[in-house]
Structure formats: structure tokens, C-alpha cells
A and B are shown apart, each in its own frame.
Chain A
Amino acid sequence: MKLTLHVWRQAGPQDRGRMEMLQVDGITSDMSFLEMLDKANEDLIHDGKEPVAFDHDCREGICGTCSMVIDGVAHGPQEGTTTCQLHMRAFKDGDSIHIEPFRSRAFPVIKDLVVDRGSFDRIIAAGGYVSVNTGSAQDANNLPVRKKDADMAMDAAACIGCGACVASCPNGSAMLFVAAKMGHLAHLPQGQAERKERALSMVAQMDAEGFGACSNHYECEAVCPKEIPATFIGSMNREFLKSSLCPDS
């Protein structure tokens, strides 16, 4: 396949950036999207030009590092799929593909397609954990968890923190991410002790980072590579409203 790429190029955080056109040839349908970019970069390096910077790590859809908006959709056209698991069979010879970084005030561009998602780490640091006293591990089945709760916790825990929810939201809101992290712990016995503080501190940090509010467009749910439902956002709203309005109950 031969493709025309329109890629966002930005030399550094201070650069204004622009879309740049690249031609890439010799792409096969079994290549992943990132392998296609690798090929484009090899060509650029061969021509003595600066390769396109993009984030990636596991390349098997579990780490959440790969992050780009492909043809106007975070992680591209295939539902429930990270960019690294998107394959070139989703495109055809002669296609033009637009590639942009995830855009949000809280995700500043570092270079080209690479953005700084440290804001997510700070939200986790604010409350997305359980405190565990040291000592020997508890018996495995010491804390029974209802099947329903275990399933909900697992659904939420599928979040890989990629940030596609923020990238796709017209308001640049991080609520699906925060709701998934909060919902995961709220459904488990280990998460109960710090439940209210967690809701308050994670939401406070989310707001401080400059993410938008949720207008219930549900774009996040549509692009989430782990297909986490937006009903978790409803649960988070409930957690937060209860925790802030009746902290003692």
C-alpha cells in the first residue's frame, strides 16, 4: 500500500506546530499502525530528516502508552482497539490519513505526537490507591467479594490510562478515567476505608489539572479501547456528591 500521511509536527513544547504531509510506500495490511509509522520514520531517517516522535511501549494493547488521534478519532477507526493493535488492513491503498496528538490543556505536547500525561499520574497519587499496612500477606480468601462487585471492579480496572477519553471529549474531560479508577476501588472491600477521601481528593486533583466537566456526550465510551461504560461516570458523580455533601454518613 502507498499512503499519504498528514502528521502533526511540533519541535518542542514552545513550537507552534503544523500539519506536515508525508508519503509512505511498501505498507502491508498485516503491519500495525505503529509499524507503518516505523516505516515512515525509517524513510525520514534515510533522507536525513527528523523522524516523527510518538509514544509506544508494549505494542500489545495493555500499557496505554500509544496515543494519537487518527482521522479524527482517538486510537483510530476500529472500536475497542488501541493504536498499537490497529492494523493496516483497516485502510486501503491510496488513503490519506490524518494523525494528531491527544489534545487537552492538561496533556501538553512534548514533541510531535508525544504528550505529557503526568496529570493522570498526579490524579492517581491524589487518591487512586489503597493503603496497606505492612506485614505478612492475608489469606487469599479472607475477604469475600460478591461476584457482581468483582465483575464491576474488573470492568473498571480494565482502564489502561491511555487518555483517549480526554482526547475524544469535546470538553477535554478526564471523567471516564477518574471514574474507572475510583469505581475499581469503590467495589472492593480494600477500597472502603479511604472511599470518601478518595472521591474528594481525586476530583479535586482532576479539576486542578484543568480537565473539563462532563456534558454527557459519551464520546469517551465510544473510543475507549477497553470499552469502559460511561455509567462509571454516573457512579463517580454519586460517590463525589455523597462524600462532599454528607461526609459523616
Chain B
Amino acid sequence: MPGTLAIRNGYVFDPLNEIDGEIKDIFIKDGKIVEDLTGAGLRDAKIIDAHGKTVMPGGVDSHSHVAGAKVNTGRMMCPEDRYKWVTKKSDLTHSGSGNTVPSVYIQGYDYAKMGYTTVFEAAIPPMEARHTHEEMRSTPILDMGGYLVLGNNWFIMRYLKAGDIEKAAAYVAWMMRTHKAYGIKCVNPAGVENWGWGKNVSSLDEPNIHFGITSREVIHGLAEVNEMLGMPMSLHLHANNLGHPGCWEITRDSLDVARDVKVECNMDVEWQKTKIDPERTQSVYLAHAQFNSFGGTSWMDFASGAKGIVDYVNKSDHVVIDNGAVPFGPATVMTGDGPAIHNLYKLTGNKWSNKDIELECGSGILTFNYLKANPVHSVEWAIGLELLLLVNDPWKTILTTDHPNGGPFTKYPQLITWIMSKKAREATLAECHKWAQDRSSLGGIDREMTLYEIAILTRANPARTVGIAHRKGHLGGGANGDVTIYDFDPTKFDVNDYTKVIRGFQNAAYTIKDGGIVAQNGEIISVPHGRTFFSEAHMDDGIEKEMLKDVKEWFKYYTLGFANYPVPDKYLRNPAPVVVNKPLEAIVGR
């Protein structure tokens, strides 16, 4: 029977249920995890012998750039990223190419081979939502969703400046439904608008051009709106001054802006009972912390600023970070932070692209190559690892490369070796420019993460942080039947055998999605169509009407007509709406 499976005798790592390597059977019926399979169910089930293997929930990537206009521009401007990385078609799979920015098919296959079943695109410019959905629906296997870029949106800035938080919330709710987006992304708040005038902002309290709003006001306002609606995930923040020496300070201060915002999820979903509360506890989720943790005051005295961020995160309960690590080698940097990319262009002279997204945001793309011999790059590598190793509570950290900014997601297995093995770090440190040793604390860190912690950083916590732990990131009854089996025997696991660790995490023994095997030992076995998650958020009807009047009035500044703005239903193959702030429960002026 399809979607019905019994995974026998594996060592199970399921952190949301506090299962740490127990030998246990996992059962899936009709695509969902069940406590037990009996009689006919068991008779029809496909049996997988996981004896001597590691069993985890399917991987969840909460921050990756895999769909939409900037990703595709990254593909188009880099033929050199493709011609040496080609995959031919098979009877089952599509052909494709690309290293740092693979084509959509390859992205789906490569994530699935690594044991990931769910990936979120971390930046959708609203005007490019259609393009983003086109790529998400063409990405095989993966369940996906995306975050809408709102930190420099004219309507948001106008409402927040006027103190009209309800209209701002009504706008966000309408935008989520209109563009079928999942959460709120805030990139260089107030600064990208200034980039339209060739400028930026460099502090939290600097009013921007025309709108006169500050970064502090945007961050606080959006965080408030987020909780007013009860969105699945918290604000995903890309702080100001990214990539500048000394930016760790404004990053810490930005996190503090959301400290007083009370977390409130208001999703109409069925929560499973897990040992650890599956609801998020953070009011701000810091994106690619590495790029925002630079120390020093210039490139001459550049150093890791991780300590400042780590100290703050360790004493705060309202923050989760993803690290945005740099695993060395080619990358394509792409972000809504146009001025940050321009700055990198001036430093490197590499190929650069820039775009202004009208009333909404901006973007920049640049080719990049991180080198061990480069002093700054070597420190960036160290920062990315410090951030994971020095934050005590793994439930506050998520492992990413901010694909493809720090490097491609296919380097996750390499990253895992560095956080699991001090010896692996030392081996790479020895190959790095001496700044990595001298200007970071990495060399002095003894911590070696366990498989249980890896399961937190790569599935349980990303799922909880983005509010999808009611169905993903754990193996309790009712969860989606997404399971990864790695060919590691935890009782004989040697963290210092990096080749084996990398190979094992690169090619899961089995990746199971909704109870079907999608990948086995690096080979794609089946190619189901994934879902697209989005927040069907609601606000008071009356406020929404007033808000829409404003939107229509200012639509004259857009280059497209209002009727062509929304993403039509047909752009989603398997829509998976999450009802947020259900109309009956919407309370006016809460």
C-alpha cells in the first residue's frame, strides 16, 4: 500500500519527542506517522530494516534561496557555474546543471538525496511572487513556501510611520493571501528604500528618505504585526549594515528591538502532542547571523564579532538564529539588500547585478569565491561555526549556508563535520589564513555536537522556528511521514572519519516523504510533487477595505495593473494554506 511503511530497529533521533538514539520502530500509514501498525496495516506495509542505522525526521531548511527572480538571474549571469556541473536525465529524473545555483530540478533531487523534504525560499519580492511560485511548483519532491520581503515596502512604511498598526496588519494579511506567501522577511529595514537614492542607513534611529521611518520602527512594527496576526513564523530579520566590519553591534541592538513583542501563534491547525512544545517561542529569527556578526572597525582590524551576538542570544529567549556559514569555495551572493551587494562589488570587482523592485524592495547579485588563504573569508568561516558552537541551547540555532550566499546547500555535510569534530575544525584551521585562528575564538572551542543536536539544528528547530512543527520536524503520531535514514551506526560512529560523515549526510540511505521512498543511497527513487505552504491570514474586513483603498490609490506608482498583481491559484500545484487569525476569531483593535 503506498504511503504505508514500517521502519524497523533504527536508532531514532527525534528531539521534539526527546528521543535520543533509542532503538525504535517508526510506522507510517497513508503518508502520516502513526504510533503503531497492526493487522492488515502491517501486512500491507513496506518494511525497511534500519538496524544499525540512524533515523531522523525529514530535514527542514528554513533559509535557502532556491526560487524566483534573483535566483534565476544568478543562474543566467553565471554560465561558468553550469558547464562543469551537468546531470543527464534518467527515465525518472530531469536533466539539469549548476553548482552554486543549480536548476530547479537538481535542487529538488540534491536536497532529497541529503535527507531534506521541506525547504523555504527566504525572500520573495511581492512583484516577483508569480515567478517564485513557478519555480517552486517545478521543484520536484520538496514541500516549499516562501517569505515575503516587506521591510522597505511603501505601504508598510507609511502605515507604521503613521502609527496605523492595524492597517499594516491588514495589508500584511492581504499580501500573504494575494501572493500565497508564508511569512514576513525584513531585509535591511529602511535602508533599501534609501538605496533607490544611492544611499543607505547605518543606524537603527536614522529616518529614511521620504518616509522618515527608522529601522527600529520597521522592525518593531513588523514584529508586532506578525504577532497581532499570529503568523506561523516570527519575523525573519536581515539586519542593517550587513557585511560591514563592526556590524555585530547593530545586529544585537536590532534583536533587542523585538524583545518586548509578545509571541502569539494563531494558526488553525491540529497540533500534535510532542514532549517539547512544538510552538515557536521567538519573536525574531535572525537570518544568516554570520554576515551580521563582523567585528573590528575596518578591514584592517577585522575580526569575529560572534561573541557579542552569542552573549546576547544566550541570555535571551526571544531569538533564534540561522548561521549562514561559509564552507569555502564558489558562491553566488544574492539578497534584497542592494547596497550591501554594491559594497561587495566595489571590494571585489566581480560580476554584479542590481534591481529596484518599485514600491517594494530591491536586490543585488554578485559572484563570489571564498578562499581559505583570504584573511577575511577565513574569519567568516570561523564566525559561522562559532555561532553554532557557542550558543548553549541548540534550540536557538539552525544550520544553513544561506544558500547560495555562504556556499551551496550541498556543503551542509561538510559543515556538519566541523560542528561534530574538533579535529575536523583543527584540520581546516591549519589550512586557513592565520586570522581564522588569531581573530576568532574557534581554535579554543572544544564542543562537539552530537547526532541529537544535529537533528535539532537541521530539522526539529527549523520546523519549530517557522511554525510547521505541527506536521514536520518530528516523528510523533500525526506528523507527516517524512523520515531520513542515514547509514551511521551511532554506537560505532566516528566523528573524525570526515569522509564517511560527509558521504553519509550527502547521500541518505533512505529519504522518505509522506511515506514514500524518494531517494536511496544517492539515487532518486520517486518524484512526487511537493506542497506549497502559505499563510491564509485574515484581519478585520472593515480595516481591510480601508487599507485596499489606499493600496489602489498608490497602485498608480506600479508598472503593472492591480488586477495582474495577485498570484492566481493555478500557480500552485498542491496548495497547503495555513489559516491564520481565522475570521471568526479576528478581534478588532486587539
Chains A and B form a bound pair = no
Residues in chain A within 8 A of chain B (CB atoms): none
